[in-house]
Amino acid sequence: MFLQQLLNGIALGSTYALVAIGYSLVFGVLRIINFANGSLYMLGAYLVFVLYSAMNGQLVLAILFALLATAAAGFLVDFVGLRKLRRDNAPRMSGLISTMGIATIIENVIQIWIGTETKQFPDFLNFGSFQIGSAIVTSTQICIFFISLFLMAAFSLLVYKTKIGKAMRAVSQNMTTARLMGINVKLVISGTFMVSGFLAAVAGTMVGAYYRAIDTLMSSSVGMKTFAAAVLGGVGSLPGAMVGGLLVGVAESIGGSYISSGYRDAIAFAILILVLLIKPSGIFGKKIVEKM
Amino acid sequence: MIKKTVEFIALKQRFIIAAAVIFALLYPLLFSDLFILRMGTLCLMYIMLALGINLIMGYMGQMTFGHAAFWGIGAYTAAILSGRFGTNFIVDIIAAALVAGAFGFLLGLPVLKVKGYYLTIVTLGFGEIVRLVELNASGLTGGALGIRGISGIRLFAQEFTSPRAFYYAILILVVLTTVILMRINNSRYGLALKSIRDDDSAAEVMGVNVVRNKIMTFVISAMIAGVAGAFFAHYISYIDSTSFTTQASQEMCVMVILGGLGSIPGTMLGASVLTLVPEFIRGLAEYRMLIYGVIMVVMMLVRPQGLLGYTDFGLIRTRLLEERGKKKGGGENNGTTGTEG
């Protein structure tokens, strides 16, 4: 039972981690929370669903297009909602409202366009299952874990080892200086949003395949939990976002099965608050406190 | 155009406040339509909630996503008390304020260690935990079924249930809240809060007790939300946990930011706009929330500081009067500048 819940938690947690990376990257660069990230997660899953039915079952192509389209949507979040605010030197809270507005728009467009009922999602990661002790592991869980791990590794390499990543880190340290050093700040910011949209879409698609269903409520609780995961790990820190995501997933899964399923999310949040009380700036966070 | 309007309002301050109060008083007599009366009542309740959250966000500069929890705690306190013990409205309100205030104190305690976004997460987690307890502790809160059949306003051995009675009850509460907040605005405590918002290290060095002030802010803000919750329970007569979600907390934040952080008239305006607009475009059915989202984005792009953010009417009035004085008498002005803010 414990092992089973642990494995379930890890699978779920690794999708949280992907979305949390998106929050963390954007926060690192712009110092704002991109509330539209949770809705990009939903958008990604729904685009796969729509394209899959429109293209007569061309799954790989459908997923590819959906991921690219969500990355483009991530770019649009910044282009429509935030670029003008940056130019005007607007207070940070306004960026928050603007992304919240975009999240509302995305969620409602999907609701109007596709409807609010639960939709069946292609079960494309299912190649069977096997047992470890008393726990059953499905191939979907394995795939989710390894795809997430691969993407996390890839993006860590991107951020910490490449020139683009260096530019990103420079922008997050000081935007003006980065601009003076010849870094194309606009491009870096757009890139960051595209990456976060892409990762959110991957997570949404995998969760859709995991539960074999998607609905229009999927974004709200995930948005909240992944945002919490990003903060738990230490906002702006990539490894932090990963650990935070896994921790929230595992806490939710184990707490939900051992204590009470009704209190599933409450347990996840209680642990979160406890961790923050012990380690006030997140697990991997630096001791800098940003005011809003 | 905005500047002209703001200047006009600043000059005619007293007149406009008086007009607004008279309008608010006559509102239920002018409109007998129940829907319009209901909108007015809800609008006032949201103004009260937004004023409370403005204390945390606008004055202290702390983002919070758990405010609906206090609203819910107040509502459940009032519902349980009046349902089981048949208490009157005043007792309900005081109890709701005390219980919500106690929870506010509890949520305030982490400020000893946690700051900024991390504290935001604590408030978010707190809100969710409270909601889930309300949903699952069926013995106390009725669980998913909620509490139904909550009485009207019991006062002086009578029960008031007419829409007008509710309207005037919340109007009185809003006026009280506004007076308290205006007093805070100019008090030592208010100034301490603003100094914490601008730079908490500097404030601490200047001798401001940061922790105590922050906890106090959480308590006061929670008490205001608790009272609004007690009113809500009696007004709606049926409560369940679906009203007090993180979504609701976020909506309160949006009201304050849209209206203008730290501004009392701005907060009132923001809360009114965001309560009324979705109702008046209800005819558009499914496009309603979509339009709401578009409004949020467009408003921020056009006026990022909020409708009345950073607009100090007192200051503008002083400046305008000074300019006029100069034009008229070439420097002999004084005394006309006034001190009211």
- Encode chain B (341 residues) as per-residue pLDDT tens digits: 667 777 777 777 778 888 888 888 888 888 778 888 888 899 999 999 999 999 998 888 888 888 999 999 999 999 998 888 878 888 889 999 999 999 999 988 887 778 777 788 889 889 989 988 888 887 787 777 888 878 777 777 777 778 888 889 899 999 999 999 989 888 888 888 888 888 888 888 888 888 888 999 999 999 999 999 999 999 988 888 888 888 888 888 888 888 888 888 888 888 988 888 877 777 776 777 788 888 888 888 888 777 777 667 777 777 777 877 777 665 444 444 443 33
Residue A280 in contact with partner chain B when CB distance is under 8 A: yes
Best residue in B115, B118, B290, B303 for a mutation probing chain A (most A CBs within 10 Å): B118
Highest-confidence segment of A25-39, A227-241, B69-83: B69-83
pTM for the predicted model, two decimal places = 0.82
What's the mean per-residue pLDDT of chain A? 85
Residue A292 in contact with partner chain B when CB distance is under 8 A: yes
Evaluate whether residue A139 is within a structural domain: yes
| A149 three-class SS | helix
Evaluate whether residue B336 is within a structural domain: no
CA distance B282 to chain A (A): 15
Residues 6 or more apart in contact with residue B157 via CB below 8 angstroms: none
Check residue B333 and give its pLDDT. 44
The 10s digit of each residue's pLDDT in A112-132 is 888 888 888 887 777 777 877
Evaluate whether residue A247 is within a structural domain: no
- What range defines the domain where residue A114 resides? 2-216
Confidence of residue A288 (pLDDT cuts 50, 70, 90): low
Number of domains in chain B: 1
Evaluate whether residue B91 is within a structural domain: yes
Evaluate whether residue B195 is within a structural domain: yes
CA distance B168 to chain A (A): 32
Under an 8 A CB cutoff, do A292 and B289 touch?
no
Evaluate whether residue A41 is within a structural domain: yes
Evaluate whether residue B302 is within a structural domain: no
Evaluate whether residue A271 is within a structural domain: no
Residues forming beta bridges with residue B238, ordered by sequence position: B148
Number of domains in chain A: 1
Residue A231 in contact with partner chain B when CB distance is under 8 A: yes
Under an 8 A CB cutoff, do B297 and A270 touch?
no
Evaluate whether residue A50 is within a structural domain: yes
CA distance A60 to chain B (A): 31
Confidence of residue A67 (pLDDT cuts 50, 70, 90): very high
> For residue B7, what are its two tokens?
């200047």
Check residue A155 and give its pLDDT. 87
Share of chain A above pLDDT 70, in %: 97
Evaluate whether residue A201 is within a structural domain: yes
Evaluate whether residue B65 is within a structural domain: yes
Evaluate whether residue A207 is within a structural domain: yes
Residue A288 in contact with partner chain B when CB distance is under 8 A: no
C-alpha–C-alpha distance, residues A258 and B219, integer Å: 34
Evaluate whether residue A278 is within a structural domain: no
Residue A117 in contact with partner chain B when CB distance is under 8 A: no
Evaluate whether residue B14 is within a structural domain: no
Tell me the HSE value of A117 on the side-chain side, using a 13 A CA sphere.
2
| A221 three-class SS | helix
Interface of A with B in 71-100 (CB under 8 A): 80-81, 84-85, 88, 90-91, 93-98, 100
Check residue B279 and give its pLDDT. 79
- Which residues does chain A have within 8 Å of residue B194's beta carbon, measured at their own beta carbons? none
Cβ atoms of A283 and A232 closer than 8 Å = yes
Q: Where are the beta strands (DSSP E) in chain A?
A: 119-120, 129-132, 135-138, 213-214
- What range defines the domain where residue B95 resides? 33-245
- Which residues does chain A have within 8 Å of residue B54's beta carbon, measured at their own beta carbons? none
Q: Which residue has the tokens 């292609």?
A: A122
A290 pLDDT higher than 60: no
Evaluate whether residue B203 is within a structural domain: yes
C-alpha–C-alpha distance, residues B6 and A275, integer Å: 47
Evaluate whether residue B341 is within a structural domain: no
Interface of A with B in 177-206 (CB under 8 A): none
